[in-house]
Amino acid sequence: MAGNSFGQLFRLTTYGESHGLSIGGIIDGCPAGVAIDLDAVQHELNRRKPGQSAIVTQRKEPDTVEIQSGVFEGKTTGTPIGFVIKNTNQKSKDYSHIKDSYRPSHADFVYDKKYGFRDYRGGGRSSARETASRVVAGAFAKQFLGDVKINAFVSQVGEMQLNKPYQDLDFSNIESNPVRCPDAEMAKKMEAYIKTIKKEGDTVGGVITCVAQNVPIGLGEPVFDKLHADLGKAMLSINAVKGFEYGSGFAGVRMKGSEHNDAFNSDGTTKTNRSGGVQGGISNGMDIYFNVAFKPVATVLQGYETIDKAGQTIKTQGKGRHDPCVVPRAVPIVEAMTALVLADHTLLSRTNKI
């Protein structure tokens, strides 16, 4: 398997299956001299952790990050930052329903075809547990980025869509409810809906909106590595993501150029921001905002038919503790991936001019 590294200069490489000794990673390229608050790193990881509320999986995993290297006397040294998160919840379970059969819309089938066999315990490498390492690295990236503010929140669960512009929302409310929706009223509705879905043994999809503010002008490489293209890839690399749009997005298709264009103020800011903070692939100093679509979690706790390795139809049932809706816990992951992209392009942008 290739593709376990992300970023060109600020670069994360991860390892780990859900049932090995640990998961973890290495951050290479973080500049020396960044003051690191390790509690803030653990705090980000806690935001992603299972068992935080009634609407997420009830698994208990302490998810404690142990920094192995690269931080000395409270600052990054410039050397690679190795980190380990031990797997402590790997009880010897009954995996017979997974081992020899393929769950619909999971990676089981394609892993077997691609690699010849697979570590079937808990989904192995395809488990979303892998994203914990992204959150750790994102926490370092955030601290490197300093004044850049990144806020992600849940803007849709199933049919329930928050139809307010982000400017009308108070981001300080995001963490006030288990859904991570900054609108209190909508948050309650979403929470109630997720509980209903959970009772049905079913799951539902959602949308996360992310806003990055105070991003300096000039991040992004204008042809293949456009800033929004790297953001898009970052988001699409998160488990269960099906779509990405930034600025005016899919709705912008319906507009005319004369409506869509963002007129300039005399200071170079723009009166509107349909561009979503990126023009020609380069940040223009306006807010960067985008939406990320997540499909409903594939593991449903209902009976279903599927096939085994021999192609025989079998009846089976989802087991264990799973998220009825992935978006609340995915909020810190979206933020982390955003931070990684911005950190990487911040370093790249130091090489633009003589």
Residues of this chain, 259-298, that bind its own copies according to CB under 8 A: 259-268, 270, 274-276, 279-284, 291, 293-298
* 1 near its own copies (CB under 8 A): yes
Question: Judged by CB under 8 A, which stretch of 43-51, 54-62, 163-171, 226-234 contacts its own copies?
Answer: 226-234
Which 235-264 positions form the footprint of its own copies (CB under 8 A)? 236-237, 239, 242-250, 252-264
Which CB, 177 or 346, lies closer to its own copies? 346
Angle between helices 131-145 and 327-348 (to 10 degrees): 50
- Which tokens sit at 312? 């025989």
Q: CA-CA distance, 29 to 8, in Å (whole number)?
A: 9
CB 211 within 8 A of CB 88: no
Nearest to 58 by CA among 333, 323, 267, 343: 323
Which 145-204 positions form the footprint of its own copies (CB under 8 A)? 156, 158-159, 197, 200, 202-204
Nearest to 181 by CA among 222, 151, 143, 215: 151
Measured over the CA atoms of residue 71, residue 212, residue 13 and residue 126, the dihedral's sign is positive
Which CB, 91 or 350, lies closer to its own copies? 350
Q: Which residue has the tokens 């997720």?
A: 194
CB of 172 to its own copies, least distance (A): 26
Which CB, 8 or 46, lies closer to its own copies? 8
- Site pattern 84..123 for its own copies (x: CB under 8 A): x-----------------x-xxxx-xxx-xxxxxxx----
- Site pattern 313..332 for its own copies (x: CB under 8 A): x-------------------
Question: Judged by CB under 8 A, which stretch of 41-49, 54-62, 179-187, 305-313 contacts its own copies?
Answer: 305-313
Angle between helices 327-348 and 227-236 (to 10 degrees): 150
Nearest to 25 by CA among 139, 107, 119: 139
CB of 292 to its own copies, least distance (A): 10
Q: Are strands 282-283 and 278-279 parallel, antiparallel or unpaired?
A: antiparallel
